[in-house]
Amino acid sequence: MPAVFLAAALPFVVSPILLLFRRPDRRAGLLSAAACAGAFACFVSVALGASPATVALPWIGPLGLSFSLHADPLALFFALLITGVGFLVAAFATSYLDSNENFPRFFSFLMLFTGSMLGVVLSSNLMALFVFWEMTSFSSFLLIGFWHHRERSRYGALKALVVTGSGGLAMLLGFIMVGIVCGSFEIAVLAERGALLAANPWATPAVLLIIAGVLTKSAQLPFHLWLPSAMEAPTPVSAFLHAATMVKAGLFMVARLGPLLSVVPLWTPTLALFGLLTMTWCGWLALRQKDLKALLAFSTVSQLGLILVLLAPAEPDTTAAGLLHLLNHACFKGALFLLVGVLEHELHTRDLSLMGPLRRNMPFTWLLIALAALSMAGVPPMGGFVSKELFLDHLLNGHPLLALLAVAGAVLTAAYCFALAAGLAAGRRPDGPRGQDPSLSLLLPPALLVAATVGLGIFPDQLVGAPVAAATLAATGSSVTGHFAVWHGAGPSLWTSAFAVSMGLALWWGWWQKRVPPASTLIADRVYDHALEQLETRARRLTASYMSGILWRYCSVILLTVIVGVAVVAASQGFVIQDGWSSRHAGPWDLAVCATAILAALATLKARTRLAAILALGASGFSLALMFALSAAPDLALTQIMVETISVPLFLAVFAFLPPYQVDRVRRARPLHAVLAVAAGLGTALLLAASRSQRVAEPISSFFVEKSVDAAGGHNVVNVILVDFRALDTLGEITVLGVAAIACYAIIKLLSEKEAGR
């Protein structure tokens, strides 16, 4: 079995197994970590060329869909990131979660997510990719709502699902358009058909729909609202899904499809603009947060905007920078989330304004936070500095207005990073809650991530130069020209960087501590809440308008639909009633029986007493039996007589318990009913008359007649059909009758027991 398949399937295999563990069993976490490590090792073997990178399985053949995994360098880059961070987070969560938490459920969901995320990056078919994409939204929903007894958790989970789910559906529509225009859903095939897409007028709506999917998944403006609410999830989940991996699915999509979709002129500028606006605006929002997780959430949104700007042009140099920053961000933001988790674990608060002097109480924790924050701020020699340099370099060569936005974003980023690191160092409250550095098992995972981001600053090219270059080549089709270095020479980007960092410092030092307005409700949140509420009330009203609970209304609607539908079809197809149908001549007996039947039916309408109505119904049934007998259908006649003989007493039995019979209850809608009834009756008769002249094929009955004696050994063809040729149908019929009998018995039994209990 190829290593790629093994690695992608491993989390899905482990996920249900985990549910078998007992509730407080921490070994569930160790198994998850082991699964991540195993998958990581598999991907390494693929990356080293020791194992084939492609697996193809047939999926839905007639639709031209195959389920295939293709681990090109771009996919491997992401897969290694996912499994690597996944391993650290699983190890962290194992000792982080309280011992009374439901470990099996947590890790099962986590593995479900890991598998889905691997599916997203490895799928080489758009439809398969979409399925995994939605599964990440779904598992994110489960994980955000993990503490489902909390109202805020449920709210955040639902919001995340609504926003990313609807974005996913928009994206599906875009995929389908692209697939139809280009004639394939295989990403490798699509990559060569950009020209087809560029020439098609459907390309623009398709691209806009896919952009909607990207923006919702990566929480970009105006869909940034779900990520802060998603912070109700346990902290390891925030670190893994909402900082390091899932929110980067949108960015992955940009990297993966960028070369194809950037043939549409709208693609790059739209994404870049949204990315820049998000970066700056959410940087500002992050600065205003007091809750550490909210601060990190907005900062994540802001940083994702930055990466989006870099990936949008689908050019090798910017893509490489984007991928490097993506890796950096996963390291420093993952670490920050885990460390905030540690703070919450030790101090039982995550409010920045309630913190005591951390540098004294928890020196190691604080040091790690400070290093990660400095990397995020873009201070040399951290990893964040290298990629932010490249970002500024890219933007300074562009439109001055965009450059200004970028610099503003960088300044705000630096400011909130200082607010975070320095604010925690001294602490606002000398008497704040005290804690101690936690055990090594909680500090080691974030420490490794921080070490990675420091390493990425000092040796960027040696550490990840080759994989990023390979991923860039796979994504854009061309090679990177430069290479990563911490020292680029004193160019405009260095001055800008220095300016941004010092301005950020100034902003924090001189202004933030007193005058920054506190966080308020997001406008997007208010819009979302209002829209959801409106949707609920209107849907309820709409449903109530046709689900009246009154039987005749339902029946009228159904009848009207059928009558109008049949009439429209009949009118458009041409309604022909031809003479010459085969029918024997009606004798006096026939006419007498028909007349009786008609009279009996009319009598049911007019009957003044219940007894008369029941007897009239019985009369119609018996005349029907006679008509069967006269029409060469003896079996039917016998059955009908039997059924009528049982039915009439049954009616009469119930009759004894019912109130006086009401024929003339006030009915305003009576004329409408009469019209509907006549239309139904007349329509059926006309349809029947026309059907005789509309035969398009020979009746299949001749088969039954021919085979009856030979194959089934019976002479009565009707019987043979029922008990032999269509025996299964008859079995179904008997079952229905049996179920009805049991239901009748149960209802009556229940009633009599109730009576007895009274």
Partner 1 sequence: MHLAVLTVVAVFITCGVYLLLDRTLLRVVIGLGLLSNGVNLALLASGGLGPGAAPILGHGSAAIVDPLPQALILTAIVIGFGVTALLLTLAFASYQSQLSDDLEDLHGRLDDE
CB of 747 to partner 1, least distance (A): 5
Residues in the chain: 758
CB of 91 to partner 1, least distance (A): 55
Closer CB to partner 1, residue 189 or residue 641?
A: 641
698-714: b (≥16 Cβ within 10 Å) or e:
eeeeeebeeebeeebeb
CB of 539 to partner 1, least distance (A): 19
CB of 562 to partner 1, least distance (A): 11
Closer CB to partner 1, residue 202 or residue 554?
A: 554
Closer CB to partner 1, residue 520 or residue 548?
A: 548
CB of 532 to partner 1, least distance (A): 26
Are 216 and 166 contacting, i.e. CB atoms less than 8 angstroms apart?
A: yes
CB of 542 to partner 1, least distance (A): 18
Closer CB to partner 1, residue 430 or residue 699?
A: 699
Closer CB to partner 1, residue 20 or residue 591?
A: 591
CB of 626 to partner 1, least distance (A): 11
- Structure-derived torsion over alpha carbons of residues 631, 634, 635, 638, reported in degrees to the nearest 10: 110
43-77: b (≥16 Cβ within 10 Å) or e:
bbebbeeebebbbeeeeeeeeebbbbbbbbbbbbb
Helices (H), ranges, 348-399: 358-361, 363-377, 383-396
CB of 635 to partner 1, least distance (A): 6
Are 494 and 389 contacting, i.e. CB atoms less than 8 angstroms apart?
A: yes
Closer CB to partner 1, residue 533 or residue 753?
A: 753
Closer CB to partner 1, residue 102 or residue 604?
A: 604
User: What 8-state DSSP symbol labels residue 518?
Assistant: P
CB of 753 to partner 1, least distance (A): 12
Angle (CA) 3 111 332, round 5°: 95
Q: Is 65 helix (H, G, I), strand (E, B) or coil?
A: strand
Are 292 and 298 contacting, i.e. CB atoms less than 8 angstroms apart?
A: no
Helices (H), ranges, 48-148: 73-96, 103-122, 126-144
Closer CB to partner 1, residue 551 or residue 571?
A: 551
Closer CB to partner 1, residue 536 or residue 733?
A: 733
Please name the amino acid found at residue 586.
A
In 3D space, the residue among 368, 339, 353 whose CA is nearest the CA of residue 419 turns out to be: 353
Other CB atoms within a 10 A radius of the CB of residue 334 amount to 31
Closer CB to partner 1, residue 98 or residue 710?
A: 710
- The burial of 697, by beta-carbon neighbours within 10 Å (0-12 exposed, 13-18 middle, 19 or more buried), is given as exposed
CB of 658 to partner 1, least distance (A): 6
- In whole angstroms, give the CA distance from residue 722 to residue 245: 61
- Structure-derived torsion over alpha carbons of residues 598, 599, 600, 603, reported in degrees to the nearest 10: 120
